[in-house]
Amino acid sequence: MNGSAPYGAAHPVRKGVRALRQVAGLLALFGFLGVAMPAHAEPIRLVAFGDSLTAGLGLPGNQAFPARLQAALKAKGHDVLIENAGVSGDTTTAGLSRLDWSIPQGTDGVILELGANDALRGLDPAITEKSLDSIIGRLKARQIPVLMAGMLAPPNLGAGYKARFDPIFPRLAQKYGVELYPFFLDGVAGQPKLNQADGIHPSAAGVDIIVAKILPAVEAFIGKLKTAKAG
């Protein structure tokens, strides 16, 4: 080495260094002028909060409802992350007891799917309504929007029970002004080919039917969430 600069002024490395310095200068100028640089948008963060129908009992994790719904939404261009907060066996009362730690800060919206176990056990619909009312009220207080997935009572519980249970979901949706998808198992309930051997829990094919049917409602829900975040 003779002490001279290792690269001449026209050398590509020297040109690259000058270019980087120019970019850094522009960034500093923008900051000085108060010009906001565009930031990468954060994904919409949803929590699917429910029972075994959400948890995906009997299925691999990647075939459970939240995972399949997330995949369907991403295929349609939505940047969304869905956390599976389903617990098999949960009633609405059990869901209420774990609500606060199941829905983390930063959640943009909740898909609420509870009530099936209440009906299967023949629980007093008044208890179901009270628990769901508290769940939605708490989420409302936290300013977390809700898409409620409704449930229908099995026919074998009789017309009287059904008349008390089924209206719970539209009544609460109207009370709180939340979005309602009327029946989570639409197109799947009572279809042996779309359910597992127990006749209750959807198979992978059944989950895909559920996702396809609920997808427009979820897209509309996400659209409102995006508008709220942008505002």
Q: So which residues are the catalytic ones?
A: 52, 198, 201
Q: What angle do CA 87, 88, 93 make, to 5 degrees?
A: 70
Q: How far apart are CA 117 and CA 128, in angstroms?
A: 10
Q: What angle do CA 87, 88, 94 make, to 5 degrees?
A: 60
Give Cα separations from 164 to 52, 96, 124, 188 (angstroms): 23, 21, 9, 23
CA 187 to chain centre: 21
Give the closest residue to 108 by CA, choosing from 42, 167, 160, 164: 42
Q: What angle do CA 64, 212, 214 make, to 5 degrees?
A: 85
Give the closest residue to 102 by CA, choosing from 80, 111, 73, 125: 111
DSSP-derived secondary structure letter, 195? B
Give Cα separations from 184 to 36, 201, 202, 215 (angstroms): 43, 12, 11, 11
Q: How far apart are CA 93 and CA 91, in angstroms?
A: 5
